[in-house]
Chain A
């Protein structure tokens, strides 16, 4: 693994996220930027995928359960070669393959349509179970928001994953401590996430979600766990990389104005 190459990729992804959301004048920068490093490690180091053959049977699956971070996923897919980078400018525009939330029937590399919080993780569990039934060893990854963990369905899914010992499933929680209406623990506390996940039967790992090496190590350790699904609690910063967006709930779902985007791009140069 070439860390400095990955770091450059993450930075380029962040620039693309800012550019596409600005061009769309709509979208979710905060949760896209907090998830960028995780997606970088998955798409540029750990996941077994073939951009030229997106539905290749041997691929690892990724489900963006926090579907509003679509810009981060689109940036990863475009830079990895699933579709031309130029298409990113079409984000959220009428007729575009890059819908506001990812759509499997439109966008190459998107396995599961998401956007309604709490559902992606269940679909990921179904994929993992299906692969087990077939005796296959493809891995399944899903990324959740920490606010998303307030959905009861998330816990139904987690219970299922542990019950059926889906050790081919890795659940990653983008723990940026914010949701739309404020701090997660002020709106509806989900803490202590680690103890809850442990009690639900998961192999729980806690990492700095902006440290590429830590992310990579955690993903490797998940693969080594033979009897349990793994949950990686990735401590992150919402809006990571753009000073005025960091830790601000207000940047959850608003697009930067052109002059703000310019400043953001300078910071990400």
Chain B
């Protein structure tokens, strides 16, 4: 199976939209080859703006562009977009409710060799805590493409979390992404795994491992972390009675926290979180780091069994 990075789907889709969406303006901060906004710059140089290495100014300029009716996407690595420019996102974009999409690539530890300074593991938490912010972490190229198309027409601030690494396609060919809706990839009865981003492929692999052992695990892709598909989360938790979350993010403040908040108030069931265990990343090959930080099918499967044991 060919693997495609969600950032590649992002750049390609922006380039496709250039011809039909005349209001589209794309900003980057000297990382266009890595974030793939270079694809858009090639076909539409007049509406591509390189801001230089100035992420805070990029986000705030986007607010100005949106004020005069532009559909703005701005990109950098997640750490510099959500991290460096957090307060600009909060006050200049989100507070006035401007339709700006912060499309951040290189999220999580699979950034690899660049190390901890470049590995955002807190961005979901930061963005999720902003009132009214939409937060989307697509699982594969198909979903990323659909998210970009929807966000180009979206009338609210949004954070789109994209990865560096090529990932398997996990969504069915006829899939249609809806902002705010989760998708049951595989039904099950013993436990449910809620995952986002590249952890969806790991969750699918975990479900296969569990099936071999006679454990029926459902897998749900929660691409929209905010607004969370509470109805689906509660329904699946009730159905399975045990919950595991899986994300390439700190276990504090991300998908696991969002799911825990909903379940604690509505339907408390045994739950385990898979994620980075509140430590910084480091340099290494992405695959090695996934093992070092416990983001593997084996770890997910073990947590599923632990949750089931607590039923």
What's the least CB distance linking A91 to chain B, in Å? Answer: 8
Given contacts A94-B289, A150-B53, A188-B51, contact A179 B80 (CB under 8 A): no
Specify which of A101, A148, A188 lies most central, judged by the most chain B CB atoms within 10 Å of its CB: A188
**Structural contact, A147 and B53, CB atoms closer than 8 A:** yes
What's the least CB distance linking A121 to chain B, in Å? Answer: 13
Contact pattern, A 66-100, Cβ under 8 Å of B = 1, otherwise 0? 01000000000000000000000000111110011
Q: Does A260 interact with chain B (Cβ within 8 Å)?
A: no
Chain A residues near B115: list those with CB within 8 A.
Answer: 92, 99-101, 103, 115
Other-chain contact of B54, A100, A150, A181 (Cβ < 8 Å): A150
**Structural contact, B117 and A188, CB atoms closer than 8 A:** no
Q: Does B42 interact with chain A (Cβ within 8 Å)?
A: no
Given contacts A26-B112, A99-B116, A114-B117, contact A181 B33 (CB under 8 A): yes
Given contacts A67-B117, A100-B113, contact A148 B292 (CB under 8 A): no
Contact pattern, B 16-33, Cβ under 8 Å of A = 1, otherwise 0? 000000000000101111
Chain B residues near A135: list those with CB within 8 A.
Answer: none
**Structural contact, A181 and B113, CB atoms closer than 8 A:** no
**Structural contact, B30 and A92, CB atoms closer than 8 A:** no
Q: How far is the CA of A151 from the CA of B288 in the complex (A)?
A: 33
Give chain A interface residues in 163-208, CB to chain B under 8 Å.
179-181, 187-188
**Structural contact, A187 and B118, CB atoms closer than 8 A:** no
Q: Does B283 interact with chain A (Cβ within 8 Å)?
A: yes
Chain A residues near B28: list those with CB within 8 A.
Answer: 181
Given contacts A92-B283, A101-B118, contact A150 B52 (CB under 8 A): yes
What's the least CB distance linking B35 to chain A, in Å? Answer: 11
Q: How far is the CA of A87 from the CA of B108 in the complex (A)?
A: 27
Chain A residues near B31: list those with CB within 8 A.
Answer: 180-181
Count class of interface residues, chain B: 20 to 34
Chain B residues near A148: list those with CB within 8 A.
Answer: 53
Other-chain contact of B117, A96, A116, A151, A152 (Cβ < 8 Å): A116
Contact pattern, B 101-124, Cβ under 8 Å of A = 1, otherwise 0? 000000000001111111000000
Q: How far is the CA of A93 from the CA of B288 in the complex (A)?
A: 10
**Structural contact, A100 and B79, CB atoms closer than 8 A:** no
Given contacts A101-B115, A113-B117, A180-B31, contact A94 B53 (CB under 8 A): no
Q: How far is the CA of A103 from the CA of B119 in the complex (A)?
A: 14
**Structural contact, B118 and A115, CB atoms closer than 8 A:** yes
Give chain B interface residues in 10-66, CB to chain A under 8 Å.
28, 30-34, 50-54, 56-57
Chain A residues near B289: list those with CB within 8 A.
Answer: 94
Chain B residues near A152: list those with CB within 8 A.
Answer: 54, 56-57
Q: Which 5 A-B pairs have the closest CB atoms?
A: A188-B52, A115-B117, A94-B284, A150-B52, A100-B115
Identify 9 new A-B residue pairs, CB closer than 8 A, beyond the known A113-B117, A150-B54, A188-B53: A94-B283, A94-B289, A99-B116, A100-B117, A103-B116, A147-B52, A179-B52, A188-B30, A188-B54
Binding site for B on A (CB under 8 A): 24, 26-27, 67, 92-96, 99-101, 103, 113-118, 147-148, 150-152, 179-181, 187-188
Binding site for A on B (CB under 8 A): 28, 30-34, 50-54, 56-57, 79-80, 84, 112-118, 282-285, 288-289, 292
